[in-house]
Amino acid sequence: MCGIVGYTGFQNATEILMSGLKKLEYRGYDSAGIALLTDNINTIKSQGRVENLKNILDKKQNNDSKIGIAHTRWATHGNPSDYNSHPHSSHDCKICLVHNGIVENYLDLKNKELSDLSEDCIKSQTDTEILVHLIRKFYDVNREISEESFLDSIIMSLNKVKGSYALAIICDDFKDKIFVARKDNPLVIGSGNKENFLASDSTAILNYTREIYFLEENKIAIISPNEINTYDFNKKNVNKKIFHIDWNIEDVDKTGYDSFMLKEIFEQPKVIDNFLNINLNSDFLKNIGLEKKYLKKINHIYIIGCGTAYHAGLMILNLFRNIEGLSASCEFASEFRYENPVIDKNKLVIIISQSGETADSLAALRLAKKSKAKVLAVVNSVGSSISREADYVIYTNAGPEIAVASTKAFTAQVLALYVLYLNIKKILAKENDGKCKEFELIEKDLKNLSRNIRSALKQNNKIKKVAKKYSNSKNMFYIGRNLDYIIALEGSLKLKEIAYLFSQAYAAGELKHGPIALIDENILTIGIVTQDKIRGKTLSNLKECKARNGIIFLIIPEKFLDDEILEMADDIILIKDMHEILLPILANVVLQLFAYHVANILERDIDKPKNLAKSVTVE
Ligand code: F6R
C-alpha cells in the first residue's frame, strides 16, 4: 500500500518518477507527490490520481532535476488531501521523505521527541511527517554536515520508531544521494549505468533496468548515480544479491486492452502454458528442493493466504486430505496467528501470495518459521519478501499482475498447487510400489487446459450480454458445492471489489437453512455446477430458487446440458468438458469476465477500485 519511487542519475528525474508512479498507482491512488532536488528541494503534491499531479507538473516550468523521490498514497493516517500527501518536508525544507508503512507510535514521538517544535511546523495529520521532523532534529544535534552524520540521524530516528516502513529520503546537503531504509515493507533498488533507481516494486522501474536488488529487512542504503551502499543499523556494510528480472515490457502495459484486468484475464492461456512448460517434469520437487525423506515426515499441511490467494488454497485442501497419513487445513493469514495453531517441524506451511509482500501472510510465515516448521511459498513476484524468507519456493510465473483484482495469478496459483499435489501423491505412491493413476489422468488433461480456457474466453460477448442483463441487480447469490463453492466465493469477491455490488457466496446446500427466505423475482442466483458427484444436489437447490421465482444463471460443462436444465436456467454459459478438478478453473474464467463486464457497464474504475490497493502491506 502506497507506492514510492526514486531516481538519481543523468536523466530528467521528473519523467522517470512520473512513469514509475503511473506503474505504482495500483498500490494506492488517494493522492500523489514528487520532490525534486536541485539547489533546493522543490515539492509538488496533489490530491487524487497521479494524472492530477501530472497536470500540475505540465503547467510548471520545466524542472531538469536529475534526482528526486515520489509517492502515490493509500491513506492510513489523515484523509486524502494535499497536506497529507507525501513527500513530507522538514520545517526548513532541507530534508524531504516519502514513506510506505505505518509509524504506530507517531503521537508518542510527537509528544516526547518533538515537543519543542511549534505546532505550525507540523502541517499534516500523518504519521509520516513526524519522521522527517525527527530526522531533522537529530541532524541538528549531530551538528556535522556529512553523509555519516545524516545516516546517524536516520538510524537514531528509526531506532525510535514502532511500526513499518519503506522510506526514501533526500537532503539538500547531498545533491546526488537518496537514503533508503526498510522494515516490513518492500523496497527494491534498480541498478543502472551511471544512474540508479528505487521503488516499492520492480514493475515501476523495469523500463529502465532489469538488474534489481531487493533491500533486506532492517537495512539502509545510500544510493548515488554510481554507487549503492547497503548497511545494517550498526552501519556495517552488507552484501547485496542482484536479481535479473526478465518480465517483458508489454507485460506492464495494457497493449490495447481497456484495462489491465481484461488483459490479464485474456493472458491466462499463456500463463498456463508457461507454467506447465517450466514445471511439468519429473524434476519438479527436486527443483524446489523438497526431498522425499522430508515429505514422508510431514503429518499436517497448513495452507495460508489472503483473499483470492486464500481461495486458491481452498482449492487444494481436500486433495491434500486425500493423501494417506496427512491432514490439512486452510487458514486466513490474518487469523492464523490467533488460532493457537500447533506448529512444529513435522508441519509444512504453504503460503500463497501473488505479491509476496502481504503483511498478514508474511507474519504467518514468520510465525511458522519461528516454530520450526518449513515454509513453502507459492509466489508470483520474484525476489519478494515471502519468496526470500521461505524455505522452498514455487514461482507461478504469471508475469506482473497490475489490476487490483487478481485473475491470472489465481489460475496460476491453483495450477501450481495441483502440480505440487500430484507430484507429492506420485512420490508417495511410488514409495508403495504403485502407479499414480490420478497423476496420469490429470497430467493428460492439464495439457488441454489453456485450449479450454481459450474457448471460455471466446464466449466473451455472450457473457457481456448476460452481464448487461443483470448489472442492475442489487443482490446476488453465487452458489456451488465442494470445489464449485470455492469458485462461488472467488466469483463473488471479484464482483464486490470491482463492481461494488453486494453478492454472497453460499454452499448450495446451506441456502435452505436460511438465505432462501430472500429469494424472489429480483434475486439472481449464479449456480456453478461442474462436479459430477454433487451435480444433482446443486441443481435441486437451484430448482428450489426457481420455484420461488428466483432468476438463475448457470455455468456448467457441456456434458451436463439437458432439457431440464434448459427449462430451469434463465441464462447458461457452457464450458468445455475436462477432468473434474480442472473444470472449476474454466468456470472461474467465466465469472471473471462476468464481474468485469458488470463493472464496466456500471462505469467503475476497474483497475483501481475504490478503497483497495493491490499489495496489502499493513495488517
Ligand atoms: C482479490 C485480491 C486480493 C488478494 C489478497 C492477497 O482480487 O486481489 O484479495 O488476493 O490481497 O494478495 P497477495 O496474493 O498479493 O498476497
Any ligand 1 atom below 6 A from CB of 355: yes
Q: What is the pLDDT of residue 77?
A: 73
Residue identifier of the C-alpha nearest atom 3 of ligand 1: 307
Is residue 503 within a helix (H) or strand (E), and if so which, with residue range?
strand 502-507
Residue identifier of the C-alpha nearest atom 9 of ligand 1: 307
**From the centroid of its chain, how far is CA 470?**
29
Separation of first and last alpha carbons in the chain: 11
Q: pLDDT higher for 448 or 247?
A: 448
d(CA 294, CA 285): 11
Residue 482 pLDDT grade (very low, low, confident, very high; cuts 50, 70, 90): very high
180 falls within a domain = yes
Give the cell for residue 225: 548515480
User: From ligand 1's centre to the CA of 290, what distance in Å?
Assistant: 26
146 falls within a domain = no
499 falls within a domain = yes
Residues 68-116: tens digit of each pLDDT:
999 998 777 777 777 778 899 999 999 999 999 989 998 899 899 988 8
Sheet containing strand 41-47, strands side by side: 41-47, 31-37, 67-73, 3-8, 196-199, 188-191, 211-214, 242-244
Same domain? For 328 and 179 the reply is no
Same domain? For 325 and 222 the reply is no
Verify cis geometry, omega within 30 degrees of 0, for the bond prior to 515: no
CATH number of the domain to which 214 belongs: 3.60.20.10
Structural domain that includes position 519: 459-601
112 falls within a domain = no
The answer to whether residues 218 and 236 touch, using CB atoms and an 8 Å cutoff, is no
Q: What percent of the chain clears pLDDT 90, i.e. is strictly above it?
A: 73
d(CA 136, CA 174): 14
d(CA 44, CA 508): 53
Among candidate residues 55, 383, 66, 296, the one with its CA nearest the CA of residue 195:
66
Give the cell for residue 95: 530534508
Q: What is the pLDDT of residue 255?
A: 80
Residues 195-206: tens digit of each pLDDT:
999 999 888 999
CATH number of the domain to which 340 belongs: 3.40.50.10490
Which of 435, 456, 477 corresponds to the end of one domain?
456
Whether residue 433 has pLDDT greater than 60? no
Any ligand 1 atom below 6 A from CB of 405: yes
Residues 6 or more apart whose Cβ sits within 8 Å of residue 9: 66, 67, 192, 194, 195, 196, 197, 225
Place of cell 533508503: 180
Please, how many CA atoms are within 13 Å of residue 468, restricted to the half-sphere of its CB? 6
Place of cell 526498510: 182
Please, how many CA atoms are within 13 Å of residue 143, restricted to the half-sphere of its CB? 1
Residues 267-300: tens digit of each pLDDT:
999 999 999 999 988 899 999 999 989 998 999 9
Residue 440 pLDDT grade (very low, low, confident, very high; cuts 50, 70, 90): confident
Residue 363: phi, psi to the nearest 5? -65, -40
118 falls within a domain = no
Count of domains observed in the chain: 3
125 falls within a domain = no
User: From ligand 1's centre to the CA of 157, what distance in Å?
Assistant: 33
pLDDT averaged over the chain? 92
**From the centroid of its chain, how far is CA 549?**
40
Any ligand 1 atom below 6 A from CB of 307: yes
Q: In Å, what is the CA distance from 451 to each residue of 81, 417, 576, 583?
A: 48, 20, 9, 13
Q: Which residues pair with 507 in a beta bridge?
A: 480
Residue 218: phi, psi to the nearest 5? 55, 40
Any ligand 1 atom below 6 A from CB of 358: yes
Q: What is the pLDDT of residue 253?
A: 76
Is residue 2 annotated as part of the catalytic site, yes or no? yes
Whether residue 566 has pLDDT greater than 90? yes
Is residue 512 annotated as part of the catalytic site, yes or no? no
Q: What is the pLDDT of residue 383?
A: 83
Same domain? For 239 and 288 the reply is no
Residue 356: phi, psi to the nearest 5? 75, 10
Q: Which residues pair with 182 in a beta bridge?
A: 166, 219
d(CA 244, CA 453): 31
Same domain? For 316 and 328 the reply is yes
Same domain? For 590 and 473 the reply is yes
d(CA 487, CA 583): 10
HEC string of 237-255 equals: ECCCCEEECCCCCHHHCCC
Same domain? For 498 and 541 the reply is yes
350 falls within a domain = yes
Residues 303-331: tens digit of each pLDDT:
999 999 999 999 999 999 988 889 999 99
Q: Crossing angle of helices 583-601/460-470, nearest 10°?
A: 50
Which of 246, 262, 286 corresponds to the end of one domain?
246
Which of 229, 246, 263 corresponds to the end of one domain?
246
Sheet containing strand 327-332, strands side by side: 327-332, 300-305, 347-353, 374-379, 392-395
Residue 506 pLDDT grade (very low, low, confident, very high; cuts 50, 70, 90): very high
Residue 522: phi, psi to the nearest 5? -100, -5
DSSP one-letter code for 324: T
Residues 421-431: tens digit of each pLDDT:
999 988 876 65
Whether residue 265 has pLDDT greater than 90? yes
Same domain? For 437 and 495 the reply is no
Same domain? For 370 and 414 the reply is yes
The answer to whether residues 565 and 572 touch, using CB atoms and an 8 Å cutoff, is yes
Same domain? For 213 and 300 the reply is no
Query: Which 3 state secondary structure label does DSSP give 89?
Result: strand
DSSP one-letter code for 609: -
d(CA 29, CA 136): 28
Residues 6 or more apart whose Cβ sits within 8 Å of residue 251: 399, 400
For residues 550-564, average pLDDT: 96
Give the cell for residue 485: 463453492
Whether residue 579 has pLDDT greater than 60? yes
Same domain? For 220 and 296 the reply is no
Q: Which atom of ligand 1 is nearest to the CA of 614?
A: 8
Q: Which atom of ligand 1 is nearest to the CA of 386?
A: 16
Same domain? For 269 and 294 the reply is yes
Residues 335-376: tens digit of each pLDDT:
998 888 999 999 999 999 999 999 999 999 999 999 999 999
Among candidate residues 297, 290, 357, 363, the one with its CA nearest the CA of residue 332:
363
183 falls within a domain = yes
Same domain? For 80 and 205 the reply is yes
Q: What percent of the chain clears pLDDT 70, i.e. is strictly above it?
A: 97
Residue 155 pLDDT grade (very low, low, confident, very high; cuts 50, 70, 90): very high
Residues 389-419: tens digit of each pLDDT:
999 999 999 998 989 999 999 999 999 999 9
